[in-house]
Amino acid sequence: VQLVQSGAEVKKPGASVKVSCQASGYSFTSFGISWVRQAPGQGLEWMGWVRPHSGKTDYAQKVQGRVTMTADTSTTTAYMELRSLRSDDTGIYYCARDTGNYYGSGSYFNDYWGQGTLVTVSS
Contacts to another protein by CB under 8 A: 34, 36, 43-46, 58, 60-61, 94, 96, 103-104, 107-111, 113-116
Of residues 79 and 94, the one with the C-beta less far from another protein: 94
Least distance in Å: CB of 99 to another protein?
9
Of residues 47 and 82, the one with the C-beta less far from another protein: 47
Burial of 3 (0-12, 13-18, 19+ CB in 10 A): buried
Least distance in Å: CB of 21 to another protein?
12
Of residues 59 and 79, the one with the C-beta less far from another protein: 59
CB atoms within 10 A of CB 81: 14
d(CA 123, CA 113): 30
d(CA 30, CA 98): 10
